[in-house]
Amino acid sequence: MSSKLYLIPNTLGGDKIESVLPSEVSEMVSPLRVFFIEEIRSARRLLKKMDKDFPIDECEFYNIGKNSKEDFFALLFKLSKNKQSIGVISEAGCPGIADPGAELVSICHQLNIPVVPLVGASSIFLALMASGFSGQSFCFHGYLPKDRKLRIRKIKQMEMDTRKHSITNIFMDAPFRNMHVYEDLLAETNNLTLLSISCNLTLPNSYIKTQSIEMWKKEKNVSLNKKPALFLFGSFS
């Protein structure tokens, strides 16, 4: 059997995986013993959720952020020669989408190692689905700049892009900066601009709402601090 690279989605939070990960994912992960991970604790936690008897102590874990591309190339080459399959575990959601993993996949393509993306939740696509905005033409911008002036400039660019081209623009920031982003959105964008916010997706306390900036300004007690959230500019068809 040839070596394969499995892209293993993680949950978006919470203790139960049944509602976001098909049982087939656990079955495909079960024989794997080599993993590329972002954070060891969350990777171990996911594997134990999949199977409480998963042999964690028999596994090898390699931190994606602590190895060079050359290191990964040599390691993947060695694993493929030994016909060992590998798993990539994201911190949350799907590997390679607003998460590390793309570089590993590119190396596998160079080494002719088959890549197998497994089904799981992506907060980006869930937020887009729930927004009411166009899913035909959209752009994900990732994290906004930390500097406030640069952040506001980026917000205005995306707002203008949506207004001119009817493109749905999706963006995010670190959870502890969410309220700063929210305040900038209310202060710096047009009252008629439509903004969708999705927070704590797939969790019991999820929050999803789409309305104009004018209506957002009337909202009371919007709480996004230290919660995973996505922001979207768009238009209704």
Residue ranges of the alpha helices (H) in 51-132?
Answer: 69-81, 102-110, 123-131
132 vs 46: CA distance, rounded Å: 32
Q: Are 170 and 222 in the same domain?
A: yes
185: domain CATH number is 3.30.950.10
Distance of CA 4 to the CA centre of its chain: 22
Neighbours of 193 (CB within 10 A): 20
- Select from 78, 102, 117 the last residue of a domain: 117
17: domain CATH number is 3.40.1010.10
Give the tens place of pLDDT for each residue, 198-209: 999 999 999 999
Q: What is the pLDDT of residue 67?
A: 74
142 in the Ramachandran plot: left (φ > 0), alpha (ψ -120 to 50) or beta?
left
**In the predicted model, what is the mean pLDDT of the chain?**
92
Q: Are 106 and 181 in the same domain?
A: no
- Select from 88, 117, 146 the last residue of a domain: 117
Q: What is the pLDDT of residue 231?
A: 98
Q: Are 153 and 95 in the same domain?
A: no
227 vs 179: CA distance, rounded Å: 10
145 vs 151: CA distance, rounded Å: 5
Q: Are 94 and 153 in the same domain?
A: no
Q: What is the pLDDT of residue 60?
A: 92
Q: Are 25 and 60 in the same domain?
A: yes
Cα distance between the two ends of the chain: 49
What six digits make up the tokens of 49? 């959720």
Q: Are 94 and 149 in the same domain?
A: no
Q: For the whole model, what pTM was predicted?
A: 0.90
134 vs 140: CA distance, rounded Å: 13
Domains of the chain: total: 2
Confidence at 211, pLDDT banded by 50, 70, 90: very high
Give the tens place of pLDDT for each residue, 119-158: 988 999 999 999 999 999 999 999 999 999 999 999 999 9
Q: What is the pLDDT of residue 19?
A: 78
34 vs 31: CA distance, rounded Å: 10
pLDDT higher than threshold 80 for residue 107: yes
Q: Are 128 and 86 in the same domain?
A: no
Nearest CA to 172 among 77, 72, 99?
99
Q: What is the pLDDT of residue 200?
A: 95
Q: What is the pLDDT of residue 18?
A: 80
Q: Are 66 and 91 in contact (CB under 8 A)?
A: no
Provide the b/e sequence for 61-91 (b: ≥16 CB within 10 Å): ebebeeeeeeebbebbeebbeeebbbbbbbe
Q: Are 141 and 90 in the same domain?
A: no
- Select from 69, 97, 117 the last residue of a domain: 117
Bigger pLDDT: 96 or 180? 180
Q: What's the CA angle centered on 139, arms 219 and 93, to 5 degrees?
A: 80
Q: Are 21 and 88 in the same domain?
A: yes
pLDDT higher than threshold 90 for residue 100: no
Q: What is the pLDDT of residue 99?
A: 77
The range of the structural domain enclosing residue 224 comes to: 123-234
Q: What is the pLDDT of residue 1?
A: 63
Q: Are 83 and 55 in the same domain?
A: yes
Q: Are 140 and 184 in the same domain?
A: yes
Q: What is the pLDDT of residue 15?
A: 66
Place of tokens 């607003």: 98
Q: What is the pLDDT of residue 163?
A: 95
Q: Are 100 and 183 in the same domain?
A: no
